[in-house]
Structure 1
C-alpha cells in the first residue's frame, strides 16, 4: 500500500513538472489563434466526417453491387458450364453424325459400285441374250453349205453328201455326212410327243443315229419293221445301191413330217424350207 502511494506521489510530481514546463513554454502563445485553429479543425472534422459518411455509403453501394456482380458471375459460370456441357454433347453428337455419314457414304459408294457392276452384267447378259436369240444353234452345230468350187455337191460339217462320175468322193466321207444328217433330223424331231398330241402323223419312222452307220427304221402297216441304211461300202452291184436309195427316200419322208410339224405350229423354233420331190436327185454310182 505504501509503495502504491509512493508511486502515485511520484506521478503527481512528474505531472506538476510537466504542467509547469508547458506553462513556461507557452506563456506568450496566441491563445485566440489556437482556439480559432481548433474551431477550424472541428469544422474540418465535421466535413471529413460527412465525407466519411458519403464514402461509407458509396462503399456499401459498391459492396452491394459487388455482391450482385458475384451472384451474376456465379450464375454466368453455371450457365457457362451448362453451355460447355451442351457444346461437348453437341460435339460428340456431331462426331457421331459424321461417322454415320461416312459409313452411309461408304455404303452408298459400295451400292453404287454394285449397281454399276449389276448394270454392266445386265448389259452383258442382254447382249449375250440378243446374240444367242439371233443365233441358230443348228447352224452352229450342223454347218450345211455347198462348196463354191463346184457348186453342186452339198456338205455338212465338212463331209460331202454324195459323188458324181467326174467328182469322186470316198464312201466313208459320204457315210459320215449322212450320219450327220440323221443326227440333225433326230435333234429336230425330239418333240415327237408334241407332234403326236397335235395329231401329226409320224408314219412310225424311227431315226437310229450310229455315226457312219446310221439308218431309219420303218414299221409297215403289217407290223413288219424294216431298216433302211444310210451308208454304203462302195462295192459294185448290177442294179445300184437300192438299200441306200430307200434310206434316202425314208429320210425325205421324215423331213416332210418335220415340215408338217412346223406348219401346224408344234415346232415354232425351227424354220424348214419347202421340199419339192422334183428338186431331189439320187446319187450317181
Structure 2
C-alpha cells in the first residue's frame, strides 16, 4: 500500500498568513523534542496571552484533529494553486512539534518571522519590567532586614503595650459610640414620628386653610357686594334727597292755550273740545297739589276743606255740611248746576289763603296773578278773568284756569326752594 500524501499549508496564528516551513523541522531528534517539552516560563503567573490579545487580526490557533482532514489537532488547509506537497508523516511531525511548543507556552504556534520578532520584543519588555520589579523587591527586602536589626525587643514590647492600651481606648470609645448610636437611633425614630405627626398636621392645616380661604373669598365677595349695594343705595338716597317730591309728582306746564298738570289739560275751547274726563282728572290733580302744599305749611283752610278724590274731587263747606263737586258732566252749560262754579270759586279762595298763610309766616311770596277770591276772578295786566263757566266764554274760563295753575306752580316752586334751603323741619 502506497504512503498517503496530503497537501498541507500552515498559517501564522497572529496574521493568518501562510507559512513556508524549513526542511530541518523534519530532522528533529528525540533529545530536542524532550527539550521542547520543557516549560518555557517557570513563572505561571506570567500572562502573555493578554499581550497577544492586543494583536491585530488575532485568530485562534489552527489544530489538526484525528478525524477528517486533520492530524494531531492542526487543520490541514488544501490549496490547488500551491505546489507544496508534504508526506503525511512530515505533517504529523510538524503538527506534533507545534502542539508541543503551543502547549508548553502561552503562545500559539506557528508564527511568521515578523510576528515572532514582535513577540520577542514583548517578552523583552516584560523581562525588563520584571527585572525592575525584582530590584524594587530586593531593596524593600534589604530595608526590612535592616529595620529588624535596629529594633530591640524592649522597644517592641513597649510598642505592643501602647498598641494594646490604644486598642482598649478604642474599644471604650467604640462602646460609647455604640451607646450614642443607639440613642441617636431612638432620637431619629422619635423625630420620624414627630415629622409624620407634623406632616399630618400640615395636611390638616392646608386643608383647613383652603376651606377658610374659600370662606374668606366668599365673605369678601359678599362684603364687596354689600358695599356696592350700600354705595348704590347711598347714592340713590342722596339723589332722592335732592329730588323734590312735589316737582316729580306734579308737573305743571302748558299746551298751547291750555294749562296742564301732569299732562291733563284744564279748560275747553270751541275748536279744541277737551273731554270732561280729562278736565275732571286735571281738577283732581290740582286739588291734590293744593292739599299737599297746605299740609306742608301747616295750613288749615277757613270755611272750606279740599278733598282730593281723583276725577271726582270735591270741596266741603265747613259748618254747612255741603259738598261742592270739582268735576262736570257735560250738557248745555246754561243748564248746569251752579255747584261746579261754586266749587271752583271755593278752590280759588283756598289758593289765596295759601298765599296769605305764607305772608303770615314771614315768607316773601306773591303770586304772579292777583286773585280776587270774593269775586271768583284772577287778574292779568289789569284784566280780570272769571273762573266760573256760566255766563262766561270758554276762552276766558280757560285763561283763568291757566293763570290759576301758574300760581300753583309758583307756590310749588317756593315751597320746594324752602325745603332745599331751610330743611324739611321748617314746615313741620
Smaller-chain TM-score bracket: 0.5 to 0.7
Residues 216 and 247, structure 1, Cα contact 8 Å, conserved in 2: yes
Query: Judging changes above 3 Å, is the alpha-carbon distance between structure 1 residues 258 and 111 closer, same or farther for their aligned structure 2 residues?
Result: farther
Where structure 1 has 5 or more consecutive residues not aligned to the other structure, the ranges are 1-43, 266-270
Q: Which residue of 1 aligns with 2:182?
A: 74
Quote the Cα distance in structure 2 between the aligned partners of 1:238 and 1:51.
158
Quote the Cα distance in structure 2 between the aligned partners of 1:272 and 1:62.
123
Q: 2:370 aligns with which of 264, 270, 276?
A: 276
Q: Which residue of 2 aligns with 1:215?
A: 314
Residues 256 and 275, structure 1, Cα contact 8 Å, conserved in 2: no
Shift of 1:95: 3.9
Question: How many equivalent residue pairs?
Answer: 226
Pairing of 1:163-174 with structure 2 (within 5 A): 163-174=268-279
Query: Judging changes above 3 Å, is the alpha-carbon distance between structure 1 residues 260 and 93 closer, same or farther for their aligned structure 2 residues?
Result: farther
For residues 92-131 of structure 1, the C-alpha deviation after alignment (integer angstroms, 9 at most, x for no partner) is 4444443444344333322321221011101211232233
Residues 228 and 244, structure 1, Cα contact 8 Å, conserved in 2: yes
Q: 1:115 aligns with which of 214, 223, 226?
A: 223
Pairing of 1:124-135 with structure 2 (within 5 A): 124-135=232-243
For residues 119-159 of structure 1, the C-alpha deviation after alignment (integer angstroms, 9 at most, x for no partner) is 11012112322332233334444433211xx2x21122332
Shift of 1:161: 0.6
> Does 2:239 match 1:158?
no
> Does 2:320 match 1:224?
yes
Quote the Cα distance in structure 2 between the aligned partners of 1:238 and 1:255.
27
Shift of 1:263: 7.0
Quote the Cα distance in structure 1 between the aligned partners of 2:197 and 2:342.
98
**Partner SS state of residue 154, structure 1:** strand
Q: 1:83 aligns with which of 182, 191, 203?
A: 191
Larger Rg: 2
TM-score, normalising length: structure 1: 0.61
Q: Which residue of 2 aligns with 1:250?
A: 346
TM-score, normalising length: structure 2: 0.43
For residues 30-77 of structure 1, the C-alpha deviation after alignment (integer angstroms, 9 at most, x for no partner) is xxxxxxxxxxxxxx9999877765654444333222212112212222
Residues 201 and 257, structure 1, Cα contact 8 Å, conserved in 2: no
Quote the Cα distance in structure 1 between the aligned partners of 2:244 and 2:191.
78
Shift of 1:205: 1.9
Where structure 2 has 5 or more consecutive residues not aligned to the other structure, the ranges are 1-151, 372-378, 395-428
> Does 2:272 match 1:180?
no
Query: Judging changes above 3 Å, is the alpha-carbon distance between structure 1 residues 170 and 89 closer, same or farther for their aligned structure 2 residues?
Result: closer
Higher helix share: 1
Query: Judging changes above 3 Å, is the alpha-carbon distance between structure 1 residues 171 and 99 closer, same or farther for their aligned structure 2 residues?
Result: closer
Q: Which residue of 2 aligns with 1:11?
A: none
**Partner SS state of residue 228, structure 1:** strand
Query: Judging changes above 3 Å, is the alpha-carbon distance between structure 1 residues 163 and 87 closer, same or farther for their aligned structure 2 residues?
Result: same
